[in-house]
Amino acid sequence: MSQPSSTTSGNRDGRSSPRLSRTRLSDEAAKYVRELIMSGQLRPSEFVRIDKIADELGISVTPVREGLLALHGEGVLRLEPRRGFMVAELTAADVRDLFWVQAQLEGELVARATKNLTDDELAELDQTQHELAQALEEQRVEDVERLNRHFHRTLNRAGDSPKLSWFLAQSVRYAPSRFYHRIGGWAQSSVNDHWPILEALKARDPEAAREAMRNHIVNAGDLLGRHVDDLPGGNHRTDR
């Protein structure tokens, strides 16, 4: 998705301004903490230690604090006076709702992509899928995540709708991609659920592609919802 240009976002020599760099760091901090929460490593009612997050990301506390303020605005965190940021309640139903929204958006984008993808792009998707299956078999976790992301990005871009892609980007933020290997069955579903999508694309069948993508994303949300259901209650953070 193209980004709007701005004459104030950087210096004339093309370097990013300090403010822009700090904004990117705060976005990264927000993404990191959001994924910790969605993967269950930060639990409801647990306080988020700003200094610990800063150390883990190798950045200063200022962008971390700004990132946590953004999460507070999303309702992901609560701000307790004189105590700090606390993780808000997250239920399995919340997770499934988030992924239901994502399923509708990705379903529409992949349906539109069926008429836009070239034969060469379909061949590349097929290659990506086979590499993904091989990476999973060999337990190459980082490659599985990278190839899965590439598969989806290719389809979303081929959907050729910047506005839908923007809305999708907001919902995808809640997928714990950095820690998804902790979610039981998630990696396997990334392989299994892609095959029907690929077959529908090869058949140039937009409705079959839409249905296959919706099923895939809803299944991912259900897996993450079960993970949330199975987490022990109380304040708990697993070792990373």
Buried b (16+ CB within 10 A) or exposed e, 143-159: ebbbbbeebbebbbbbb
- Pair (122, 218) in one structural domain: yes
CATH number at residue 174: 1.20.120.530
Crossing angle of helices 18-38 and 61-74, in 10° steps, is 60
Of 35, 55, 87, the one marking the end of a domain is: 87
Q: How far is CA 18 from CA 8, 9, 71, 189, in A?
A: 12, 9, 22, 41
Q: Which residue range(s) make up the domain with 48?
A: 18-87
Residues 60-113: tens digit of each pLDDT: 999 999 999 999 998 889 999 989 999 998 888 888 998 999 999 999 999 999
Q: Which of 67, 76, 72, 69 is nearest to 23 (CA)?
A: 67
H or E stretch covering 87: strand 84-87
Residues 173-220: tens digit of each pLDDT: 777 666 656 677 778 888 999 999 999 999 999 999 999 999 999 998
What is the token pair recorded at 102?
């994502």
What is the token pair recorded at 158?
């081929």
Of 69, 87, 105, the one marking the end of a domain is: 87
* Residue 7 domain flag: no
Q: Where are the alpha helices (DSSP H) in the chain?
A: 18-38, 50-57, 61-74, 92-116, 119-137, 141-158, 162-172, 186-192, 194-202, 206-230
Is the overall model pTM greater than 0.75, yes or no? no
- What's the total number of domains in the chain? 2
